Structure 1
Amino acid sequence: MSYLVLARKSRPQTFDQVIGQRPVVKTLQNSLARDRVAHALIFSGVRGVGKTTLARLMAKAINCEHRDNNNNPCNKCLSCQEITAGSSLDLYEIDGASNRGIQEIRELKEKIRFLPTSAKYRIVIIDEVHMLTTEAFNALLKTLEEPPEHVYFMFATTEIHKIPITILSRCQQYELKRVCADDLSGHFERLIGEEGKEIEKEALALIVREAAGSVRDGLSLLDQVLSFSESSVTTSDAIEVLGLIDREVLMNLDPSTLGRRSLHRHSCP
């Protein structure tokens, strides 16, 4: 099998494994415990903060046969295993960018009319839902207003302002924040240990800074650095791979020269 990148290898399989987003996670767990899950959920936020991950976790938990005390999916029952493997017939995961027209939504509506095949509910996940056309949103509107009892909708978007207010008003909205540096640092350090490697603190800090609150972006950078380095990741390795400027170079710059360069740059049209 080909190499599995860290972003896929470390994808959370329970709510307890989600990095950051504690208020959102707790709300979702409580809604499951009290049987108050809305028929349509929309997760918004910048890329790589866990929108699609939470949608999949909710899909698992809703259909799970043996949730634990924290309402985490068991990952052992047939439904959980099928969703993890991507073979569930009752989970429709759609890319809104490439399936954005009214015809695709009509076909989806036709499919969800039927009862689930093996799970308790049919789950529809539409990623980048803001890419749907106006006609597609209009076709979806009536279904969201009066959804079948056996269907749940999960939407994910990086641009929630592009979604019609008529759609938003029929969804329970969850805004995901950028993950704080401490959470990212702890998560990355743990993964590096699992990979059997070590990393200098300053190198880790550089990766966390470049990730800018995105778990997925940080894991992609970490993958690059780990591939470049030997058993231990040094600060110089991180600087070279990430294309950063060494602090010593900045400290040795002549301020007067820097000022003249800056003035010249600003004088250009």
Structure 2
Amino acid sequence: MKIHIKNQEEIKKIKISSKLASEVLEMISEYMTVNTNLEKINKICHKHIIEKQNAIPACLGYRGYPKSICISINDVVCHGIPNKKQYLKEGDIANVDITILKNGYYGDTSKMFFIGKIKETAKKLCEITKKSLYLTFKKIKPGIPINIIGKTIEQETKKSGFSIVKEYCGHGIGKNFHEEPQILHYYNRYQNTLLQENMVFTIEPMINEGKSYVKLMKDNWTVKTQDKSLSAQYEHTILVTKTGCKILTKRKKEKIPYEFNNI
């Protein structure tokens, strides 16, 4: 497993792409409302990325993916394809996943949106998913095994009675959309590579309200829960620093620090 440790010039470019990705999530929030068409949301994001940010929506055309962003609603775990026939409904929970390519480097992030008034179980699912991600930021520093990330997410999720999707994981990111290392969201004792300063990767736990089993739909992209239970996901791009980590895709209103000192 070859992990590319980033140099300062690369980190500078990844920071720019990551900030742009977080800005798209901030921009689109006002459109995440009842009766909004999913294709409209996709088009707004596409136009913003191309015209305002002078960047590339990295999802578009990636391995044949047909849209510029992913929108995953309710029982869709990930890779939901926006279409003009689907509208946001009262009570939906929706994940919007944005990946930006700028100056040859990628930044990747996603978050959940609440559409109108949602059920308490849906709210709890999203809160636990976000909390499990945030807790990992307090553990990351050079010299610790990478599986501390999955262990932290698993411990928090188990307390809630929810389940972790195991088929999809976080990943290294930089000049490529997906690089080593894989970041599992559950504990695997064999995933014991040590974290190093200037590693960059995503953490993106996918947590299901019911069982962890998922199914791939006929479009070969959309992933749903097998038992039709709700699923939630939050994602950030992370830089390992000398003393902890930086959250490169942190949004302005997000109630977490940009930098964590864990020494």
Which bin holds the TM-score, normalised by the shorter protein? under 0.3
Per the normalisation by structure 2, the TM-score is: 0.27
TM-score, normalised by the number of residues in structure 1 = 0.27
Question: Between Structure 1 and Structure 2, which shows a larger proportion of strand residues?
Answer: 2
Q: Which has the higher helix share?
A: 1
Q: Work out which of the two has the higher radius of gyration on C-alpha atoms and give 1 or 2.
A: 1
